[in-house]
Amino acid sequence: MNGSLSANKELVSAISAGLYKCPDVEVLVCPPAGYLSQVRELIGSAAMKLGAQNLSEQAQPGAFTGEMHGDMIRDLGASHVIVGHSERRALYGESNELVAQKVQTAIALGLSPVLCLGETLAQRDGGQMETVLSQQLGAVLELLGAESFANIIIAYEPVWAIGTGRTASAEQAQSAHAFIRGLISDRNATIGGSVRILYGGSVKPGNAAELFSGADVDGGLIGGASLKSADFLGICEAAQAQ
């Protein structure tokens, strides 16, 4: 829940001006819902795509005060939507089943969902990482099947490495990504081999190249560093160099 009209203009303009250094990097920006129209205008013809941070699971518009329907998101110029972010799961109690329903709705309405998965510190220290990831991913697999991941981007965000000063090592990130890819490949090897899996956990210009070096790490879901144009562009340059 960051941003203002003036801050958005400064940030997006600076990012747009620096992307010429990263012609092979796909960039998606996901502002708060109230700023989607402004950011769409700021992006203009720049090589960036627009996404929302959440959507309603409801397939049809209706009397759901405060919710944002997928048709509204598309009407505002967005092509993607983040689903199941760790903060939505932790702060707003979104279950694996609800997240799966949101993924289903997003795809049905022509949006590309960015499905977030990840374990807490207690779960990692308790040796439950694989169990948690299996349950989170499994809810979507059971509802939609492996073939649906042709239209889904996955973002692995270890909750213990978000805003804590701790960062997963390149080896830890690669291990988790390989496990996630394996769960999909067990059902459909072609889809599993092609699905994009982003890493989201305190990615910075100084560690991006190492994190992105993993064979199963296809990019990043950037949090705090996305609010500083120099940092975000530094991460984009690290991705370009891969």
Rounded Cα–Cα distance for residues 115 and 99 (Å): 8
Tell me which residue of 43, 39, 51, 19 sits closest to 239, measured CA to CA: 19
Q: How far is CA 192 from CA 66, 139, 152, 214, in A?
A: 36, 16, 11, 16
Please report which residue ranges of the chain form alpha helices under DSSP H. 5-18, 36-43, 70-75, 86-92, 96-108, 121-125, 129-144, 170-185, 189-194, 205-212, 229-240
Structure tokens at 199: 């890493």
Structure letter (DSSP) for residue 202:
S
Q: Look at the block and give the residue holding tokens 């969902």.
A: 113
- 92 near 76, Cβ under 8 Å? no
For 25, half-sphere exposure in the C-beta direction (CA atoms, 13 angstrom radius) is 25
- What are the φ and ψ backbone dihedral angles of 164, each rounded to 5 degrees? -105, -10
Give the alpha-carbon dihedral of 8, 110, 84, 134, to 10 degrees.
-140
User: Which residues does the annotation mark as catalytic?
Assistant: 85, 157
